[in-house]
Chain A
Amino acid sequence: MTAFLGAALVTLALTWAAGALAGRVLPARRLRKSLARFPEVIAGPGRLAHVTDHTPFAAVELLYSIALFDLAAGPLCVSIPAYDDHWSLQVLSEDADNVAWRSGRGGEGGRRFVLHSRGDARAVPEGQDVVDVPARGVVVLRWLVRGETDRARVDALRRGATITRA
């Protein structure tokens, strides 16, 4: 009886743990798989890919700019040009968890955000919008496009966004 119950409990615990692990691993794998469609993204951290086609259930009205990032060498600065409509910056962990969000509309002179690794003692420039994030993850910029006739203008504008060492 002891062996029977012990085996049952161990099996239950291991199966439950496997399910919890799958809940972390599978979304992360799916994220990497979706990003693998964009050679510029997988070419290396810190390279922005300005996506022109959509994933199957993406928003038609949004243009996406995506980059992997790695803060091992220090903070990174994400600069976005001034845009007269809605924009957003989303930071995802490697496990596809939402870890940070900034959004707005307009903004003279554009906006700058410093991605800073949690626990990193290195200083960041004064007066910057510091976004505390894990050491590695994904940055997603979204740009709202109002009408197909405006898509080319917004596409050209967003290509002015950069990721540089802070």
Chain B
Amino acid sequence: MTASVSLVGGVLLGLGAALVLGMAAGWRALRRHVVHDAAGWRIARDIGTTATHPLVRIALAPAYPLANEHALYLFADDPHDRAPQWGALRGGGPLFRHLDGSRHYRIVSDRGSLAADWWSVTVYDTAGLMSGPASFCSVLDTGVAPAADGTFVIDIAAACPPGSRNWLAVPLGAPFLIQMRIYGPAPGLVLPRFEEA
């Protein structure tokens, strides 16, 4: 084998190995930083620090340049597709699957208020914050109307479901994201569950 062929072959092998190992590292990073929760959320953990994996840093940077490690960021998990959004690792969008604007989703807390300084739920379209009044696309903890027993349900749908105490509007049939922010989560925090109604 001539030297030049050896070198070219070696470079190609090195690039191939880097690709395979990089994908494996990316998968491990996603599993470490994006945790599936039994309550139906994907939780971004340990982001915005020197310990954050480079691939995850790259993926989060476009949408979250000020990523804050002192808040809990929860993204609603699509019940029908739980695979990671690999395109995000190429800088091609968020890490989480969009939800379907033709469906009705709910956030349900069976325990009432959450153990945290404050929290909010916001819906975004594919480009970010939706146009229109903020009260239609986001709700703060003190803005949630509880039931008589203190529990609460937040409905997310294109049309307000009958009897709903808390409703966030989404575009009919269009993809969207739900993000829950929890600042100052306490050790005893129990997450509300996210589900499709």
Binds A, one of B51-59, B97-105, B152-160, B188-196: B51-59
Q: Which of B3, B57, B120 contacts A3 (CB 8 A)?
A: B3
Binds B, one of A58-66, A69-77, A108-116, A118-126: A58-66
Closest chain A CB from B136 CB (angstroms): 10
- A-side interface size class: 35 or more
Are A27's CB and B14's CB within 8 A?
A: no
Compute how far the CA of A166 lies from the CA of B23 in the bound complex, rounded to whole angstroms. 48
Closest A residue by C-beta to B3: A3
Are A146's CB and B142's CB within 8 A?
A: yes
A4-21 CB contact bits vs B (8 Å, 1 = yes)? 111111111011100110
Within 8 Å CB of B54, what residues of A? Answer: 19-20, 22-24
Size of B's binding interface in residues, CB under 8 A = 56
Are B118's CB and A86's CB within 8 A?
A: yes
Give the tally of cross-chain contacts (CB within 8 A).
Answer: 160
Within 8 Å CB of B49, what residues of A? Answer: 97-98
7 A-B contacts, Cβ less than 8 Å apart?
A8-B14, A30-B62, A56-B124, A56-B129, A60-B138, A61-B140, A146-B140
Residue numbers of A with Cβ under 8 A of B are: 1, 3-12, 14-16, 19-20, 22-24, 26-27, 30-31, 33-35, 54-61, 64, 86, 88, 90, 92, 96-98, 101, 103, 105, 138, 140, 144, 146-148
Residue numbers of B with Cβ under 8 A of A are: 1, 3, 6-11, 13-15, 17-18, 21-22, 48-50, 53-55, 57-58, 60-70, 91, 94, 117-118, 120, 122, 124, 127-129, 133-135, 137-138, 140, 142-143, 179, 181, 183-184
